[in-house]
Amino acid sequence: EAGVVQSPRYKIIEKKQPVAFWCNPISGHNTLYWYRQNLGQGPELLIRYENEEAVDDSQLPKDRFSAERLKGVDSTLKIQPAELGDSAVYLCASSSIWGYNEQFFGPGTRLTVL
Amino acid sequence: AQRVTQPEKLLSVFKGAPVELKCNYSYSGSPELFWYVQYSRQRLQLLLRHISRESIKGFTADLNKGETSFHLKKPFAQEEDSAMYYCALSRGSGNTGKLIFGQGTTLQVKP
């Protein structure tokens, strides 16, 4: 079984530039999560999708962050414009309704904002 | 507010020594507790969950609701146990989603 796929793995941009991250969950997983992990911290949820519906986006900074999961499969997370404080690892995870709340994580995208 | 606290950023032990990674949580309801592990150059993965009450790779964790703790234990550490360990809490049961993670503890097992 292929795991959660994320791209790119690394991204370096200058502040005020836009950036986008892509995630393809495990086939058949209806729930998709985006987490942000700052250096030395645990992951923090940004947004959770059930199929194509965002059911929890309370931690998403909506002034600059946006996300979509148009067909209920893959998802894109965008930051525009990026700020220095956005430097972090962005993790995507997915889970199945049959999976007893086990989340499967992708390798993450390490973003550096200069 | 829900919170997970892992008081140790680094735990260093010798091979064969017992290990206990501490985790305390605050939550007023009935949480689900998990331990996730990240080995070097690998992705974050589930180690064990409290509802399963099972031992994985020799690790066990017991939910103590009175002390609001979910400490991870192993009687004899192995070098391959060296990794970053995260305790996490989820509200409710089933696929209700949001995981709240602690800050993580790096376990270093010396030969």
| Separation CA A95–CA A104 (nearest Å) | 6
Task: Looking at the complex, report in whole angstroms how far the Cα of residue A103 sits from the nearest Cα belonging to chain B.
Answer: 7
Q: Is there a contact between B101 and A42 if contact means CB atoms under 8 Å apart?
A: yes
B→A interface, C-beta within 8 Å? 4, 9, 32, 34, 43-46, 49, 51, 86, 88, 90, 93-104
Do the Cβ atoms of A33 and B97 come within 8 Å?
yes
A42:B4 CB<8 A: yes
Q: What is the pLDDT of residues B13-27, one digit of tens each?
A: 999 999 999 999 998
pLDDT score, position B97: 67
Q: What would the pLDDT profile of B36-66 be if each residue is shown by its tens digit?
A: 999 999 999 999 988 777 888 999 998 998 9
Phi, psi of B26 (to 5 degrees): -130, 120
Backbone angles phi, psi at B79, to 5 degrees: -60, -35
Residue A88 confidence (pLDDT) above 70: yes
Token pair belonging to B48? 């064990």
pLDDT at B93: 54
Nearest neighbour of B103 by CB, restricted to A41, A102, A103:
A41
pLDDT at B94 over 70: no
Show Cβ contacts of residue A108 under 8 Å, excluding neighbours closer than 6 positions. Answer: A6, A9, A37, A89, A90, A91, A92, B43
Which residues face B33 on adjacent strands?
A: B89
Averaged pLDDT, B91-104: 75
Q: What pLDDT shows up at residue A96? A: 87
Residues in chain B closer than 8 A to A43 (CB atoms): 44, 86, 99, 101
Range of weakest confidence among A76-90, B75-89, B95-109: B95-109
Residue A66, H or E segment: strand A65-68
Give the confidence band of A56 by pLDDT, cuts at 50, 70, 90: confident
Neighbours of A4 (CB within 10 A): 22
Give which of B72, B77, B69 is closest to B61, Cα–Cα: B72
Nearest CB to B90 within list A96, A101, A105: A101
Give the span between the Cα atoms of A90 and A46, in whole angstroms: 9
Cα radius of gyration (chain A): 13
pLDDT at B95 over 70: no
Q: How many helices (H) and strands (E) does chain A have?
A: 0, 11
pLDDT at residue B96, rounded to an integer: 57
Least CB–CB distance from B99: residue in A40, A45, A108: A45
Per-residue pLDDT, A8: 97
